Chains A and B, each alone.
Chain A
Amino acid sequence: MIATIITQLLGALAVAAAMMVVLSKHPVRSVLYLVVTFFFISGLYIMMNAQFLAIVNIIVYAGAIMVLFLFVLMLLNLNKDAEPKTPTIIWIISTVAGGILFLVLIAALKDIVLVSQKDDFAPISNIGLVENLGNTLFTKFVVPFEISSILFISAMVGAILLAKRDKPTID
């Protein structure tokens, strides 16, 4: 009972923080609200007994990627009038389009949920632990795991190559 209330509270807070990411004017505030959103989503993972993913989510997303965003934001050193204004017609169109997208998603996913067997969660408690996930990762998914290292090294080389300052373009 208490777990249900905590889960629903975490979900509501995650949605509220996500709205603040979109609506806050200052980009630094958006980054910080996104970190808060990731913490709430990690809390939801813990409530679903996916402890490993909760920790990875905090370390990789809230720890590494968001710090990268913050660093870029600080390096660009934007002043106040750099924040672009959105026209009102775009706001109206986006709100309508977002609402329609939500309706379509719910309508599409509703029937899929109804054909499954169980109504409530009956989690097998050790499914999200490191031991179980490691066994799956290094037996069944070992080839994608190795390929992801190639993806990482190509992303690293690409990032360095793109962001490197060329000699002739210095003004």
Chain B
Amino acid sequence: MGSTATVNIDFFVILSSLLFVIGAFGVMIRRNMIVLLMCIELMLNAVNLLFVSFSTYYGNADAQIFVFFIIVVAAAEATVGLSILILAYRHLRSIDVSIFNKLKG
């Protein structure tokens, strides 16, 4: 793809802010723990999009490497989060986060 989009940087700022806010909104309204983890992934992707757009804007490759590391950390976070979820489901037979308000064993 040699052609380059002549889109203003404001478009990407607004777009990634909107995606981030949608992710945060999902974290606030949903009670299902799996959907909560997915909304966190959505927020991470919004940040990645902003990183890539500014990397392209300034012609600097460092931000794209940073996105690469964010993907790595997101993979590790999803793995550990889902295993904690399975553990919680095994104890409580539910993945409703409003049940997880007691730190008793």
> Chain A: residues with CB nearer than 8 A to chain B?
1-4, 6-8, 11, 14-15, 18-19, 21-22, 27, 30-31, 34, 37-38, 41, 44-53, 56-57, 60-61, 64-65, 68-69, 72-73, 75-76, 78, 82-86, 90-91, 93-95, 97-99, 101-102, 105-106, 109-110, 113, 116, 118-125, 127-128, 132-133, 136-137, 140-141, 144, 148, 151-152, 154-156, 158-160, 162-163, 165, 169
Give the nearest-CB partner of A170 in chain B.
Answer: B90
Q: How far is the CA of A88 from the CA of B98 in the complex (A)?
A: 15
Measured between C-beta atoms, what is the minimum distance from A63 to chain B in Å? 11
- The binding surface of chain B is classed by DSSP as helix
Is there an interface contact between A51 and B1, defined as CB atoms closer than 8 Å? yes
Contact indicator A83/B32 (Cβ below 8 Å) = yes
Bound-state CA distance A57–B41 (Å) is 12
Q: Which 3 A-B pairs have the closest CB atoms?
A: A155-B76, A84-B31, A22-B26
Q: Is the CB of A37 within 8 A of B56?
A: no
Residues on the B chain within 8 Å of A41, using CB: 45, 48-49
Tell me the complex Cα distance, A1–B8, Å.
Answer: 13
CB neighbours (8 Å) of B83 from chain A are 158-160, 162-163
Within 8 A of A (CB), among B23-76: 23-26, 28-32, 34-35, 37-39, 41-42, 45, 48-49, 52-53, 55-62, 64-65, 67-69, 71-76
Closest residue to B62 on the A side, CB-wise? Answer: A136
CB-CB under 8 A from A94, the residues of chain B are 25, 28-29
- Check A34–B38 contact: CB distance below 8 A: yes
Q: Which of A34, A51, A118 contacts B57 (CB 8 A)?
A: A118
- Select from chain A the residue with minimum beta-carbon distance to B78: A65
